[in-house]
Amino acid sequence: MAGDYVPIETDLPTQRKVIAMAGRMGVSPFEVAGRLAYFWGWFTQQNVVILAGDRGALVGAYVDTVVDVGMAPRALLDAMIEQEWLTTETVDGQPALVVPRYSSWLEKCAKARRQKTIRQRKWRQGRAADPEKVSKDSDRRRLRRRLSVGAPVDASKEMRDESKKKPLVVPLELLPWLQWWNRMHTEGLVPAAVNEGRPSQAITGSWKKSQADAEVRELLADRDQIEQRIRASDFCREGWFRLAKLFGGRNKDRELIVQVLLDGGYEDGNRKKPGAAVGASGRVHDRDWGHLEETGPSVDPGAGE
C-alpha cells in the first residue's frame, strides 16, 4: 500500500538479538536489520489474522513458502524463530507463521498510537525548551476559566504581558475626530472622553462603517455644524451620547443620530415636550428618547470609551 510503513527502532542494528542473528547467519548486523524491515513490511501487507496474546498469524504459510517466494532467506527465518521474533504454529488446523506483539507494533492502529506518542513527546520537549511561554499559556487558560465561572481575577498577574500586545493603529482620518471630541468634553459639551492613543473597538468599528456609507460620510463632512448643534443641546450632554453613536448610530426608529442632530432634533428650543424633535421639514413630531439604542452614565475621562 502506498505510503504504508513499519516502525523501526533507531538502534535496531546494535540490539542484542540482531547481533546474535548476524553471528548465526554470518552477515553484518546492518544486513540483518534491512532484511527484518523488508520481511515485516511484507508480512503486514498479507491477510494477517489477529490471535489472542497480541499476535498476528499468516495462516496457511510455511517457512518454505516464504523462502520460495523470495521474501526472506531460510537462515533469517530460522534466526528469527531462535530469537522468538517468529513462531510456527497451527491455527484452525492449518500451519501458520506467527509474529509476536503484532497488534502493539505492526498493526495500523498501533502505528497511529505511536505517531500520537511522538507528537506528544515533541510537544512536551517544546514546552520544556520555553518555560516562559508555558507560563503565559497557563495564565491565559486560568483567566478564561475564571471568567467563565465569574471568579475574581488578579489583573496584575493575569495581564502581565499586556505591554507586549500588538499596538493598535489609529486611522489618520479618525485622529482629528478624537481630538475634537476630547476638546468638546473638556468644555463640558459631551459626557465622556475617549482614548486618543487607543480608542475603543466601538469607535474604530463605527468609524470604518461610516466611511463605507456615502450618506453618513456626507453628514459627517461638516463638523463645525455638528458642533453648533451639540452646543445648542443639553440633551447631548447626557450619558447616552457617545462618539461611536455619532458615527452612524441609529435610534430605535432607525434614524441616523447624526441626521437628527443636524436637523435640530436635539436642540432644547425644539423640544416642545419630552421626546419632541424637529424633522428635516421643520415640523415638530414626537420622539421617544428611550428608543435610542444605548444609554448609560458618563465614564471616567481617563478610562476612555
**Residue 42 falls within a domain, yes or no?**
yes
**Residue 117 falls within a domain, yes or no?**
no
d(CA 83, CA 99): 12
- Is pLDDT above 60 for 123? yes
Per-residue pLDDT tens for 196-225? 888 988 998 899 899 888 999 899 988 999
**Residue 116 falls within a domain, yes or no?**
no
Given 52, 85, 109, which residue is the final one in a domain?
A: 109
**Residue 122 falls within a domain, yes or no?**
no
**Residue 297 falls within a domain, yes or no?**
no
Helical H segments across the chain, by residue range:
16-25, 29-44, 63-68, 74-82, 102-105, 108-129, 131-149, 155-158, 175-186, 201-212, 214-219, 223-231, 243-246, 257-262
Query: Containing domain of residue 196, as a range?
Result: 175-291
Enter the C-alpha cell of residue 157.
498577574
Q: Are residues 83 and 182 in the same domain?
A: no
Which pTM was predicted?
0.38
Report the number of distinct structural domains present in the chain. 2
**Residue 163 falls within a domain, yes or no?**
no
pLDDT of amino acid 107 = 65
Q: Are residues 102 and 179 in the same domain?
A: no
Enter the C-alpha cell of residue 197.
492613543
Range picked from 45-49, 202-206, 278-282 for highest mean pLDDT: 202-206
- Exposed/middle/buried for residue 299 (C-beta within 10 Å: 0-12, 13-18, 19+): middle
Q: Are residues 179 and 286 in the same domain?
A: yes
Continuous segment of H or E residues that includes residue 91: strand 87-91
Per-residue pLDDT tens for 78-102? 999 999 999 988 888 888 889 888 8
pLDDT of amino acid 304 = 46
Given 61, 85, 109, which residue is the final one in a domain?
A: 109
Mean pLDDT of 21-26: 93
CATH number at residue 104: 1.10.10
**Residue 6 falls within a domain, yes or no?**
no
Q: Are residues 191 and 274 in the same domain?
A: yes
d(CA 18, CA 257): 84
**Residue 144 falls within a domain, yes or no?**
no
Given 109, 139, 167, which residue is the final one in a domain?
A: 109
The answer to whether 297 touches 286, Cβ cutoff 8 Å, is no
The single residue listed with the C-alpha cell 494477517 is: 48
Per-residue pLDDT tens for 135-171? 666 767 776 766 665 555 554 544 454 445 555 567 7
Q: Are residues 186 and 269 in the same domain?
A: yes
